[in-house]
Chain A
C-alpha cells in the first residue's frame, strides 16, 4: 500500500522544492506525490485521494490553510489525515491556532529539506 503525500501551496517554487525534496522518498519507499495550487483544490484532493500526509500552506487564494484544516478535522472520514502546516508567519498566535485546529505540526518557512524528509518519514512510519 503506497503512502500518499499531498503538497498544497500556491507558490510554484515552493511546490517544486517540496516535490524535489520528497522525490527522495519515492526512490526508497512506496510513496505517491500529489500537488495542489490552492486550498479548494487541496481539499478536493484530500477528499478524493485520501492522502496520509498533507503539507499545507496557510496563505493561499480561495481557501486558506486554516480553513482547509478546519474542514478536514470536522469531517469524520478525514479526521485522521496528518497535516503539517507550512507558513511564513512565525507568530505564536498562528502556531497556537494551527495546533488547536488539529494540525500535527507547524513548520516555519524557510524550512530545511532534510527536516521535511525526517518529519515525513516519522509521520508515515517509513
Chain B
C-alpha cells in the first residue's frame, strides 16, 4: 500500500475532533460560567439589597439618635456574610457615620451619589477590587443612606473555578473519548489495514497471502470477497501464465522448426531488410559463397556477397512487385540461379519488409542442359550428314537422268512408263527428304526453345507488320492452291513487345496449316485488340478438327486425323513450336473447330507496356520533339551525359563521377523526361535505368531509337539485371563500379564519332531522299550498281539503299553477307 502523504486519516480525524471539541467545550464552559456569573451577580445584588434594607430598617432611630457605636456593631455583624466587602452608613449630610474599612475609607466611595430610592452600581475600589455597590436610603434619605459593597472578586473566583473545572472535565472526557475512539477505530481499521495489506500483496502478484477477518460485519464479508478474488486472480494468473508458457513454447518450437527448415534448405537463402542489410542467411548460402562462420547479420549485402547478389538485393528491396532472377557464379566453379522477390506483409496496403533471395545450385542442371543441347546438336548433325547425301544425290540423279539419260530413251515406247515412274519416285524421295530435313530443323528448334537456348530479339513491333510479312511469305503457298487470304486488321492496333521473326513464324505456320486443310473457301486472318492483348486469329472453312483431336493439336508429333490412313502433311511440330513462341511472349494459343465447318486458330500477345490499344488503357506516346524551345545548345567540347534514374542518390553519384571526368551532366528522373530532354540537349551519352515509374527505361529507349534526332545517341543501361543489354548499346549491373562505368561511357562516346555511312545506288537528282536521313548520320554516297564493290573494298560500312528496279543487277546475297553492311530495298519508283 502506498504510504499516506501528510497526515493519516486517523490523525486528520483526531485533529478535527480536537478542534471541534475544543470549540464546543469552550462554548459550553463559557455559557455555563456566564450563566453562573449572572446568577451570582443577581444573588449578590439581592443579598446586598436585603442586607442594606435590614440595616436601613434597623438603623432608623439609631441614626436619628446618632448612636454611632450601635450602628458600627450592627454593621460589623454583616461583614461576616459571604460576599460582603464593605458596609458603610452616611447621614443626611453625607458624613460617614460608620464603615467597615480598615484603616480608612477609600475615596471614591465617599463621592458616591445617593438617590432617594435604592441604587445599584458597579465600581472599582482600591484594595478591594470590583464591587457592586448597593445604596438604600434610610427614611427616604432623611436619616441617611446605607451602602453595602458586594465583592465581585468572589463571583469572578466562582466564575473561573467553574470554567476551569468544566474545561478540565471536558478535557478528560475528550481524551477518554479519543482513547475509546482509538480503540474502536483500531478495531475497525485493523481489518481495513489487513485488507489494504492483502490488496497490496495481490498487486505485487503474491497470491500466497491469506486474509482472515472475523468481525461478523461488512469487513468480514469484504475480507471473504477479497480472499475469493485473490484465489480467482491466482487461478487466472496461473492459467494465463501456463497459456503464455504454452504459447511461447509453441512459438519457440515453431521458430526452431522454421529455422531448422531454413538451415536444412538445400537452396541458399538470403533475406535483406529494407536498408539493404543482411537479416537471415542460411548455411547453404554460406557454403555457396564460402562465408564460413563469420557473423554477417546487419552487414550490408555488398560487403559480403558478390556484386550480382548485391545488385539483386538492391533491386528487390525497392519492392516493385515481381520476381527477379539471375545466374550467379558460386564458389568452386559452380553456377547458381538466384531468384529474388520482395517481402510484402499485409493485403490491403502491403508493407515492404525487404527482400528474399533464393540461390539454387544449378551446376548439374547446366551440365545436363549442355549435354542435352550437345546431344541434340550432335544427333541433328549426324542426321543431317546422311540427309545431305540422300537429298543431294537424289537431285543429282534426277538432273542427270533428265539431262542425259531420259532424252536418249525418249524414242523408246517401253521406256516411257518406267521413266515416268522413276521421275515420280525421285520426286517422292526428294520431297520426303525435304520433309525429313524440316523435321530435323523443327526438332532442333523446339528442343532449343525448351532448353531456353533461343536468342530472342525483342523490340516494339506492330502485329499488322507481322501479318503483312507472313502474308507475303506464304503467297506462293495459297496462290498455288488457288485460295484467297483475306486480312482484316483493326485500326490503331497497339504495338506488342516481341521477336518479329518468331511471331512471323507463328502466323506463317497457322496460315500454311489452314491452306493444307482447305479446298476452296478463303482464309481470313484477323487482328483485334482488347484487355491489354492483341489477338490474332486465322480462320478457315476447311475440314475442321474432330473434338477428340482438339486437345492434342498442340502436342508434339500429333496431327489431326488418322496418320495411318491419311498422308501426314508436315512434321507435327509446327503447332507445338507456335505454342512455345506464343507462351514465351506471355500470351496463349487456342483453337475452335467444327468438323466440316473449318477451324479458327487464335493466339494473343500482351500489348507492349505503356501502349494503349483501341480499348483505351493508358498509353505512353513517345513525346514529339518540342518546337523551337529557344534553348541555345552550348557548343562546348566537353561531352554531355544525360543521366536517367529515379533514385536521387544514384543520380547524384553518377553526376559526381561524370563531372570528375570533365563531362557535362544533365539529369532526368523518368523515361518521358529523358526522351524530351534528349531531343533538346542532343547528349553524347545517355545512362538509362530500366525500372522507373511512368514510362520505364525500355520504353524510353524504344522512343529514343524511333526518333531520327536521338536514334544514334549511345545508351548505357544501368540495371540490376544484366540481361537488359538487348535494347541499349551496353549494360552495366548495379551496383555500378566507377571504373567500368567510366570505361564504358568513354567507349560509347568514342564510338559515336564513327558515323553510319549511306550508299544509294542512284543519283541525288533522281531519287526521293525523304526519310533516308533517319538511317544516315554520316556521309551519303551516290554510286552506280557497278561501283558498289569498289566502295566496299575501300572500307565502306553502313547502309546500302537499292531501288527495287536495281535489285536484279546487284549480287544481293553476297552483299548482305558483308559484315557491317545493311541493305535497304527502296520501293518501286523511288528513283525515276
Contact = CB atoms under 8 A, between A and B. Distances in A.
Contacts of B393: 13, 17, 20
A122 B377 contact: no
Given A90-B441, A92-B455, A110-B437, A21 B392 contact: yes
Contact of A89 (B381, B390, B392, B395): B381
B359 to A, nearest CB: 27
B160 to A, nearest CB: 134
Interface string B379-395: 01111111111111101
A14 B813 contact: no
Given A110-B433, A122-B811, A122-B813, A88 B396 contact: no
A85 to B, nearest CB: 11
B444 interface: yes
A25 interface: no
B814 A113 contact: no
B395 A14 contact: no
Contacts of A33: none
A104 B811 CA distance: 13
A123 B395 contact: no
B350 interface: no
A87 B393 CA distance: 18
A111 B448 CA distance: 22
Contacts of B391: 110, 112
B384 A110 contact: yes
Interface string B780-815: 000000000000000000000000000000010110
B385 A14 contact: yes
A20 B396 contact: yes
Nearest to B396: A20
A105 interface: yes
A110 B388 contact: yes
Interface in B702-743: none
A67 interface: no
Contacts of B814: 104, 122-123
Contacts of B377: 89, 91
Nearest to B455: A92
A113 B395 contact: yes
B817 interface: yes
A59 interface: yes
Given A122-B811, A122-B813, A123-B814, A110 B392 contact: yes
A17 B819 contact: no
B387 A109 contact: yes
A110 B455 CA distance: 23
A14 B817 contact: no
A108 B385 CA distance: 10
B399 to A, nearest CB: 8
Contact of A17 (B382, B392, B437): B392
B607 to A, nearest CB: 28
Contacts of B437: 110
Interface string A84-126: 0001111110000001100011001111111000010011000
Interface in B427-476: 433, 437, 441, 444, 448, 453, 455
Q: Which of the four size classes fits the interface of chain A? A: 20 to 34
A44 interface: no
A99 B817 contact: yes
Contacts of A20: 393, 396
Q: Which of A17, A92, A110 has the most CB of B within 10 A?
A: A110
A49 B605 CA distance: 56
A109 B395 contact: no
Given A17-B396, A89-B377, A99 B385 contact: no
A37 B573 CA distance: 36
A21 B391 CA distance: 12
A74 interface: no
Nearest to A59: B381
B387 A110 contact: yes
A87 B388 CA distance: 10
Nearest to A58: B381
Contacts of A13: 385-386, 388-389, 393
Contacts of A87: 381
A50 B444 CA distance: 37
A113 B384 contact: no
Contact of B381 (A21, A88, A112): A88
B257 to A, nearest CB: 48
Contacts of B433: 110
Nearest to A119: B813
A11 interface: yes
Interface in B93-120: none
Contacts of A90: 380, 441, 444
A104 B818 CA distance: 8
Nearest to A112: B395
A122 B437 CA distance: 26
A28 to B, nearest CB: 13
A19 B242 CA distance: 94
B281 to A, nearest CB: 37
Given A17-B393, A91-B377, A109 B385 contact: yes
Contacts of A21: 392, 396
Contacts of B399: 113
Interface in A1-18: 11, 13-14, 17
Interface in B384-431: 384-393, 395-396, 399
Contacts of A119: 813
Interface in A58-95: 59, 87-92
Nearest to A106: B817
B380 A88 contact: yes
Contacts of B819: 99-100
Contacts of A104: 814, 817
Contacts of B380: 88-90
A72 B565 CA distance: 54
Contacts of A88: 380-385, 388
Nearest to B430: A112
A14 B384 contact: no
Contacts of A11: 385, 389
9 closest cross-chain pairs (CB), A and B: A88-B384, A88-B381, A110-B388, A17-B392, A13-B389, A109-B388, A109-B384, A110-B391, A110-B387
Given A89-B377, A91-B448, A100-B819, 17 more contacts: A11-B385, A13-B388, A13-B393, A14-B388, A14-B389, A17-B393, A20-B396, A88-B383, A88-B385, A90-B441, A91-B453, A99-B817, A104-B814, A109-B384, A112-B391, A113-B392, A122-B814
6 contacts: A14-B389, A21-B396, A88-B381, A99-B819, A122-B811, A123-B814
